[in-house]
Structure 1
Amino acid sequence: MADISVVLPSILQPLAGGQSILTTPADGAVTVGFLLDSLAGDYPVLARRLRDETGALRRYVNIYVNGDEVRRLRGLETEVAAGQEVVIIQSVAGG
């Protein structure tokens, strides 16, 4: 069984115990939604930062699977295979 790696930006790392990469085991393809659900059990504050109360991705959160933004694919239904990398980017605004 291989792992799926989830890469977090520095702004989200404190919500995941200071980790920059989270791994979750996968014995086959899973969806991005399933992956986020599995992370939510260990990191509920991180989960709330990524998804709203309806379960949708927050507008300022971008998730990439193999370099492709999931909103341009199948959204939370985008499949991630074991061994692939998921990158989460949170937009930061300021002025």
Structure 2
Amino acid sequence: MSVAVRVPTILRTYTKGEADVSVDVPDDATLADVVKALDAAYPGIGARVLDDTGEIRRFVNVYVNDDDVRFASGLQTPTPADTKVSIIPAVAGGC
């Protein structure tokens, strides 16, 4: 099964400039499987999404369809067929 992943501009150097990529995962895949497949297809991107402990980095937001995985099951969030995963770097700043 294939899962679509929306890649933010800052990580597109790993995907040769592609904003939308897809990865093949098992039918019962979780977000962890998607990140693993993404890193296999685009080496180095996994380390930008996950920290040294294997958790999603603090300033990276990941959505499965429209759901923030921090409020779902994190990396164990199911990614059924036709799932759209979005990786969005947190933005901070202001006056």
Q: TM-score, normalised by structure 2?
A: 0.87
Runs of 4+ in 1 over 3 A off after TM superposition: 92-95
Q: Deviations over 1:33-77 (max 9, x none)?
A: 111011111222211110111111100111101100001000000
> What RMSD over aligned residues (CA atoms) do the two structures have, in Å?
1.6
Q: Tell me, yes or no, if the aligned pair for 2:24 and 2:37 is still in contact at 8 Å.
A: no
Q: Tell me, yes or no, if the aligned pair for 1:3 and 1:24 is still in contact at 8 Å.
A: yes
Count of aligned pairs between the two proteins: 94
Amino acid at match of 1:14: T
Q: TM-score, normalised by structure 1?
A: 0.87
Q: How does 1:50-65 map to 2 (within 5 A)?
A: 50-65=49-64
**Relative contact order higher in (CA < 8 Å, ≥ 6 apart):** 1
Q: Which has the higher strand share?
A: 1
What residue ranges of structure 2 are gaps of 5+ in the alignment? none
